Every structure is written in C-alpha cells, then in structure tokens.
Structure 1
C-alpha cells in the first residue's frame, strides 16, 4: 500500500484530483492479509497495472473482484516495468525506511 500511496496521494490528501483511489483513507481498506483498492473508473487501468507490478515485485498477487480473476501483467505492461529493478528498489526502500518518502522508487509504474 505504501508503494501505491507514494505513486498517488491518498484521496484524503489529493488536492490536485490526481488520485485513482475512490475511498480514503486507503488504509481502512486493509483487512488482515488483504487490501482492497477501490479505484476511480477513469484511472483503474493505470492504477491496477501499477498495483500488479508492485505486488509481483513483492511476491504477492492481485485479484480483480470484478472479473473474479487473478490479475496478471500484460506484455505491454511488462515492456515498461522492470520487475527486477522494482524488487531491488523496494528492498532498498524497506532498508532505508519502512514508510519511505522516495517517489522515485515507484516511478517505474508509469509508462
């Protein structure tokens, strides 16, 4: 969740209307080992692609409740996301600070 909130602000802090999240604060959507990310329809493709990339880098999976399928990265998404580099950056961010404020760590999520 931290990685995605570094990419886009929480809805409660979004002064520029750039957040893909449709509820806030997003942390209330965490339930034990699951996190539900309600998204604005207009940004769902971009945000879910990034969430899928971050999840893959962390050894997690994304499940799309609307399609009732595990979301996998498409070849187009894989073309601009270097999973190994993202994994490295995530490890570094965790070593530096568990609540990192380094947006460059997740800038690879955007094409």
Structure 2
C-alpha cells in the first residue's frame, strides 16, 4: 500500500503532478493507493475533477481518499455557477463521506512496502 500525502493547495501544476504520480503508482501490480488530504487547505475545480476521477477508479487501482473536508472545497463552491452547484456539492459530498468511512474503517499502513512514505506537496 502506498500513501500519497498532499499538502497546501491542490490547483494548477499540483493537479497535473498528482494525476501523473497516481498513474505511475497504478502501473504497479495490485496497486493500493491512499491519498491523504489532511494537509490540503484549498482545492480548485481541476483538483476536484482529478480527485473525483481517481475516487471513481479511473485507472484500475484500489484508491481511497482520507482527510477530505468541506472547507478544502470552499473556493470551488464559491466559484461554481448556481445551476451547477448541486452537482458540485454532490461530488464534494462523495469525497468527504468516503474519507469519513476510511477513518472509521481505518487504514493502518501509511507507507510503501519498502518502508518509504512518498508525498506530493502542492503549491
């Protein structure tokens, strides 16, 4: 199991880096990835789109997200047109609820099999 620790803002180049990093990790046989969003304080629409795609299983690996909170997505929610707000709220709710389920179930290992802990630091 590999944990990717995210910190800062998930926008711009950090979103592309995250997608690329997860694509590489998913090439490993039986890849299991945990995205730890506990250190993220802001996420833009592109970041939300990538997180939703990763959460939906695009790419084929087991992936769980933990540490997602509503406050991380306030910028996206503020900038979303009213007619689209329901759909965006639903996407954020999916991430936040999945993070809560992970916390209840527990993800015990927070490192790679070789003992290292990879991280991606967002701007």
TM-score by length of 2: 0.28
Higher fraction of strand: 2
